[in-house]
Every structure is written in C-alpha cells, then in structure tokens.
Structure 1
C-alpha cells in the first residue's frame, strides 16, 4: 500500500459493483476515506465490509440519483457529513446503459438516460466543486465511454450521454481548474468481471484491439487513483482512454 491518497475524502457514485466498486476499493487501499454510494443497501454494505476487512475506511450512503438537483444535493450534503465536513475527490461513475437502437428508444427511456448519466453528475458537481475550491482544491473524475467517440449501433442515447459527460469534463476544467479543482475523465472500453469458463458477448467488441480482450475493473481503478492523486497535479481536462486501444489502434491479422 503506497497510500497516495492518504488523508483524502472521496465520494464514488455507483460504487456497489463493477468499475465503481473497484475504484472505491482502490481509493481505500491508497489511504482515502471513501463514501460508497448506490441504490442497493445490501451491495453497498458488502463493499464497505470488504474494505474495512482489509483495513480501509469506508461508509455507505444510499442515493437514487434520478437527475433531480435535490437528489444530487442531498447526497453531497450527507457524504460531506459522513466524511467529516468535506469532499476532496468526487467520482461521477453512476450510470445506466439501455442498449436500444434509436427507433427502439422511447421518450421515457431517453429522458431517464440523460437524467442519470448527465443531469445527476451535473448537479452533484455543482454542489461539490465550489466547496472543494473554497477548501483549497480537489479532484473530480467523470466516467465517459469508448462509445462516445467510436460509432456503435446500439445504446445510441447512452453514447450521446457519455459524449455530453466528456464535454462537461472540458468545460468544468476551465470553470473550476483556476480555483484549484482538477476535472478529468476516464473512458473505459469493455470492462467487467468475467465468470470463469463463460464466453461473454463483449469479447467480440474487443476483437482487433491491441489488448484483444475484455478489461478488468481494476484497470480503470488504477487510472482513477492516478487522476485523483498529486501525481496528476498538472493534468486538467483530459479524457484518459482505458480501453485496450479500442478507440486508437487497430490490429490487422497477418
């Protein structure tokens, strides 16, 4: 344990599974006190218990980030209170992925995608970033996606919502960076915990990439630790691809 985040207070949304859980666990292993946030009390308790069993500090705060300013502001207040009065690191990870085509996406689904994926982090950042600035600085990490920049025929509304998040990342970097708050994003490829012996449909999406396989959540978590740490003190407004080369390189079989 290098404790690169020793003494830091972090809030990770959508932290009860997959990438969010891996980030929360990595932050705690690096010395941060982490608020694990999500909708499931049972899964949240499982994450927190695991972190505490390994000697880390974590607490669960339930939140249903439905896109309303009230929900985001409520989470910001409760998380800050649990963490002792402030938040040094915010990870906007919570999101939903209905994999429908354009013609199969109804208005209710479209609105929900943007509520959870765009409005919720927008109002959460609005609630937390100014306090970070007043306290002397902080780091905000948003979760984008490889499908925001590489055309994909399914999950079209989701793809556009992640494009919005990546644009917000650059805008927030200019808005809050001069006040000491660094804002960056991570853009994962196909990332999930695989079941041994099972073939996942996502494997096909990674064909032709340098990695040639699905990524593990901890790969994204390692990148999140870097962006949250002082090692990234001169990094502002970037979207860091952690996608096995999906958006940047093609491997052609001989």
Structure 2
C-alpha cells in the first residue's frame, strides 16, 4: 500500500511507544518520515527506526532529529533539517505526539509539575506547530494530528494537570480546524488513546504510587501502539479530507 507516497511527515516524540508505531505506519504507506526525540539514550533506537523507515518507504526516507519540544526554537530547527533532507519546502503531515505525564493527587502536586506538563504538552505543541505551519500551508493536503488522551474527560485519579493539558489539546484542535481549514485547506484532528501499553504509561503509573485503575472496556485487552497508529494512518489519507475538528476516541470501547 502506498497511499501516502510522496508525502513528508513529521512525528514528534516518534522514537518510542505510540509515536514509533505511527512513524512506521506512515512509512508503510509510503511517506517519508522525520521523527524527533529528546534524550541521548534514544539515539540508538532512533537510528534503528530510521533504518526501518528506509526499508518500508525506500532509501533516504527517514530522518531522526534530536529536539526538545519544550524549547520554542525547536520547530524552526526541525523544519530546516527536514526540508534539507527531503529536498522540498512543503510538509504534508504533522503528528504532535511528544508529551510528558506525571500523575499526582491535588494535595501533592507542585508548580514544577504544572510548568513541566503544560510547557511540553500545550505550550511546546502550540509553538512547534506554529513553526511548521508555513510548510504545511505549501502542501495541497495538509494534515495535523494531535495526540491527546482519554484522561481529558475520564476523571482519572491523579490527572489534575495531565488531564487538563489534554483537554487543552482537544480545544485547540477545534480552533485550528476552523482557522486553518477555511484559509489553507488543512485538516486538524485529535486522537484520544485509551490505556496503551507503552514505557511512558507504565513509568508514569509506577512513579505516581497510585493504584492502577481498572480498564473496563468492550475490548478484552489494553491497547498496543499499533492500534493507535493504524487510526492515525487512516486519518491522514485523502479519504479523510472532509473529516476535521473532531476528537477521535481509540480506546477499545472504554470511555
């Protein structure tokens, strides 16, 4: 399948977990894919992922860029490298996946917790997207996918800050769909994953010391990164060109 052949995509936080799954799904469908990562400890994983992207989409179809989304200059630096790598000004797909989480009860949370999560999940996402926007405007079919969370509306224990950041993402998704759709033909969607087995998910629960919440759902299992990736792969195709401004719940029927 090559429904995205010739497209250029950026996936923030694309080296691990859901982001990695999305990067591979896009490459499987023919896209050239740039992924970002933050820590030096991810360099080997990033190199391995680029090799996989090249195998799926063709030689020189992948690039991994070390960038901290909390740095408001990161978007400009990433865009410059992407344009140099792929030899075109336009970016067709932006997947805002990078994020962080820390679960704390109201009585235990700190200002540092607030600044960290809003700094990456909301402020970083907004200004990264702003930096990439000129390139998205040059695409004939620009797509923005914002990774949110079921915590935005589930009342999950300990998610005062994290859930609020994701609710913010759901809101700005609708605003951008109106602003960018009418003027530039860019569609904007949010994807709310349910509980997905990733390193971040597991570590966040362990660090919080809070009990693992029950996950009653229609599906009899927790999600895998591929479950989310396949939905994103569908939402960025031409078949979804009239679908915008929505929050898509991918959660096995939990919420």
Distance 2:228 2:211 in 1: 17
Distance 2:153 2:246 in 1: 14
Q: How does 1:86-105 map to 2 (within 5 A)?
A: 86-105=90-109
Q: What is the deviation of 1:236?
A: 0.7
Within the candidate set 182, 187, 192, 2:197 is matched to 192
Partner of 1:165: 169
Q: What is the deviation of 1:101?
A: 1.8
What is the TM-score normalised by the length of structure 2? 0.87
Partner of 2:8: 9
1:156 lines up with 2:155 in the alignment = no
Within the candidate set 75, 80, 85, 1:82 is matched to 85
Q: What is the deviation of 1:11?
A: 0.3
Question: Over residues 57-77 of structure 1, what are the superposed CA-to-partner deviations in whole Å (9 max), with x where a residue is unaligned?
Answer: 2111111111x3212332233
The 1:145/1:152 distance shift into structure 2, 3 A limit, reads same
Contact 2:23 2:35 in 1 (8 A): yes
1:110 lines up with 2:110 in the alignment = no
Distance 2:79 2:217 in 1: 39
Query: Match of 2:95, SS?
Result: strand
Gap runs ≥5 in structure 2:
200-204
Question: Over residues 142-196 of structure 1, what are the superposed CA-to-partner deviations in whole Å (9 max), with x where a residue is unaligned?
Answer: 00100101111213201100100110100000010111111101100011259xx
Distance 1:3 1:10 in 2: 14
Partner of 1:220: 228
Partner of 1:252: none
Contact 1:28 1:34 in 2 (8 A): yes
Partner of 1:51: 53
Distance 2:173 2:20 in 1: 22
Within the candidate set 172, 176, 188, 1:183 is matched to 188
Q: What is the deviation of 1:206?
A: 5.3
Q: What is the deviation of 1:204?
A: 5.8
Distance 1:168 1:203 in 2: 31
Partner of 2:43: 41
Q: What is the deviation of 1:82?
A: 2.2
Aligned residues: 240
Within the candidate set 120, 123, 140, 2:127 is matched to 123
Within the candidate set 231, 246, 249, 1:238 is matched to 246
Query: Match of 2:154, SS?
Result: coil
Distance 1:131 1:236 in 2: 19
What is the TM-score normalised by the length of structure 1? 0.88
The 1:74/1:103 distance shift into structure 2, 3 A limit, reads farther
